Structure 1
């Protein structure tokens, strides 16, 4: 499923909101179909370290099997409880690890368009990458959590402190006011830009280093005061993501 950020903007503006949401799930061919329910891919909510292991937790179909697959063929799985909660324990990676979540309900497999990326053996950012949408950070992050770009438009996003009414974002001479949602998450479109740019969010300056170099493979590099990633989503959609460090330079 390929969704460019530019296409997402049109849908978002039509709904009078800026945040991007995952695609609507398809109905399962078995299992939940009998009750007229809709199967959905798993939602990754938290990643915690437990000694030499990482525990990935979230929500899925009740009692469904949740699988995290890596590009090298390794798979980690667990079953959700009756409430749909699951925990998957996996060894902490040596370096970077990209995982593809999916739900299995009976004979039906529901892959998620999202990707779970764990950087620097879990010592770096831990994020959920979303094709055509805002990256969601699961680690401690600064006011500006990520900037996603498809080469045409940029999407800045982050998470504000509880009770915050609005977040001010300054970019390219524009001053934008963004209202966080109930969880404090916010996102806003920025005009396209070639090269680096200073972006001011909630009292702190961030230097976006520009697009990552084109690549069909996952690339991860340090760039400026943060991590820059080039990755490919379902259907070949390519996206560049920059993750600022928690502390400034």
Structure 2
């Protein structure tokens, strides 16, 4: 995760440098055309189940075609409206479903590094997995929404009521106070821990179950404490994500 964060910082620095560099007049027209053709990956912000179907909603470029691809080759698509909102409808899976979002403009595609994971046919947690970043839960979650680990560093995250000033996280005998953003989302880095470890977040008790067994395939385990997922992101980077159950305490 540390490498991913450094890469993001470098990318931002490169973008600032490019923005500050003068553009030769003969290149301006071509650059403007390239900008119009550029597509950003979609952002998923909700999944709702209604009977045998799921509706995945989010934001993309206005008029862009949004595609959700499964590892089995299945693809589901919809077109964003003039506000950039989209809704992709698909049949509820029999079990777990991992989808890769992308935006299409013409023959070009802008794949997202994120993965949408729907557990237990939509009855379990629904999350957006993010390589090198915190998992974002779209379902109702406890104070501690997730812990992500690459074996060298762990990232605890969650969401609280907007306006909450601080969230207190106790781990390994240390207490950290973190300030949520305007939407109530927060994250904090924890030291690595292979085995089980008790934690306390916002006054509630949780127990980190430890790393999942190594595998290149998607591994989903239902535990008493919630769900543990082993998954592979871009560049074959393997990551463990633990999702505490709503009744965890």
TM-score range with shorter-chain normalisation?
Answer: 0.7 to 0.9
Please show how residues 4-153 of structure 1 align to structure 2 within 5 Å. Answer: 5-10=1-6, 34=33, 36-37=35-36, 38-153=38-153
| 1: CA distance, partners of 2:5 / 2:79 | 36
CA offset at residue 11 of structure 1? 6.7
TM-aligned CA distance change 1:215 to 1:57, over 3 Å: same
Question: What residue in structure 2 maps to residue 28 of structure 1?
Answer: none
Does the 8 Å contact 1:209/1:224 carry over to 2?
no
TM-score, normalised to structure 2's length? 0.88
Q: Secondary structure at 2:2's aligned position in 1?
A: helix
Per the TM alignment, residue 83 of structure 1 is displaced from its structure 2 partner at its CA by: 1.2
The residue that corresponds to 2:207 in the other structure is 207
Instruction: Give the whole-Å Cα distance in 1 for the aligned partners of 2:155 and 2:46.
Output: 23
Instruction: Provide the rounded CA distance (Å) in 1 between the counterparts of 2:181 and 2:40.
Output: 22
Distance 1:109 1:9 in 2: 24
Q: How many residues align?
A: 230
Deviations 1:20-42 (A, max 9, x none): x9xx9xxxxxxx96273542100
> Which structure's relative contact order is higher, taking Cα pairs within 8 Å and 6+ residues apart?
1
* In structure 1, distance between residues paired with 2:54 and 2:33: 36
The residue that corresponds to 1:245 in the other structure is 245
Unmatched runs of 5 consecutive residues or more in structure 1: 16-20, 25-31
- Contact 1:66–1:79, Cα closer than 8 Å, also in 2: yes
In structure 2, C-alpha distance between the alignment counterparts of 1:208 and 1:8, rounded to whole Å: 23
Q: Deviations over 1:193-222 (max 9, x none)?
A: 120100100010100000000000000001
Contact kept in structure 2, 1:207 and 1:224, CA below 8 Å = no
Query: Residue 227 of structure 2: SS of its match in structure 1?
Result: strand
SS in 1 for 2:49: strand
Structure-1 separation of matches of 2:7 and 2:193: 22
Alignment of 1:171-186 (within 5 A): 171-186=171-186
Distance apart, 1:237 and its partner CA = 1.1
1:218/1:230 contact within 8 Å kept: yes
The answer to whether the Cα contact below 8 Å between 2:60 and 2:85 also exists between their aligned partners in 1 is: yes
Kept in 1: contact 2:226–2:248 (CA 8 A): no
**Pairwise CA distance, 1:51:** 1.7
Larger relative helix fraction: 2
Give the CA deviation at 1:146. Answer: 0.2
Measured against aligned partners, the alpha-carbon deviations of 1:21-70 in whole angstroms (never above 9, x if no partner) come to 9xx9xxxxxxx962735421000000011221110000011101000000
The Cα offsets for residues 65-91 of structure 1, whole Å up to 9 and x where unpaired, read as 000000001100000111111000111
- State the SS of the aligned residue for 1:235: helix
Q: Report the 3-state secondary structure (helix = DSSP H, G, I; strand = E; otherwise coil) of the residue aligned with 1:36.
A: helix
SS at match of 1:121: helix
Shift of 1:223: 2.5
